[in-house]
Amino acid sequence: MLTYLLHAFNGPAGLFMYLLLAVAAFATGVVIDRTLQVMRFRVDPEQALKNALDKTDSKAGLGATPLEAVLAAGAAQPDYERAWDAMTAESIRAEQQIRRRIPYLATIASLATMIGLFGTVYGLILAFGSMGNVAAAERAAHLSEGSSTAMASTAFGLLVAIPALAAHAGFEAWARDQLAEIERAATRLALLLPRA
């Protein structure tokens, strides 16, 4: 199949194959970026909470991750109400950091599918558009070339779309877990602070 797809880059499907290759390269960049973010944002919630409550350590090392930034915002306030407001405001920025570029993967999956489908339609037009007044041998060649274009575009489109969709689902699940962890830690911190 790989040889078949590589050969399609030189045929009538070439435009679609190169477009899909560009989309695949962009998807790969997003996946690498988000994977590095997952590793960078890894923090022990218990330790982050302890650091936030320890006033001597509250300025050192806090804020490097979204969880730490939210807890630092709350720990800097003197009471429950103000801490909760500060953490709510900071959590909006934290959610933007966590979800950054994840929606691109769903868009890439849809775009790759549509480009593949467009290549399929183009291949079918090539295949059946030459069925008029031409010799049988030439008709068979056009039909074969059009079918090949259609199948290569569809296959490569799905080959790009399926991993992008799977990556989107994985990163979206990670983002939901991170946001839930931030909410849990923020609630615990707020409950430990005095009421106004």
How many Å apart are CA 7 and CA 130, to the nearest integer? 22
> Which alpha helices (DSSP H) does the chain contain, by range?
2-8, 14-40, 45-53, 66-75, 80-99, 102-129, 136-192
**Mean pLDDT of residues grouped by 10 in the chain (196 residues)?**
77 90 97 95 88 62 81 89 92 95 97 95 83 73 82 93 97 96 92 78
Position 57 scores a pLDDT of 47
Position 58 scores a pLDDT of 45
CB 38 within 8 A of CB 106: no
Position 125 scores a pLDDT of 87
Question: Which of 109, 113, 116 lies closest to 164, judged by CA?
Answer: 109
- 194 backbone φψ class: left, alpha, beta (φ>0; ψ -120 to 50): beta
**Cβ neighbours of 62 (radius 10 Å):** 21
pTM for the structure as a whole: 0.83
Question: Which of 93, 36, 54, 47 lies closest to 70, judged by CA?
Answer: 93
Position 168 scores a pLDDT of 98
Position 111 scores a pLDDT of 97
Residue 59 in 3-state DSSP? coil
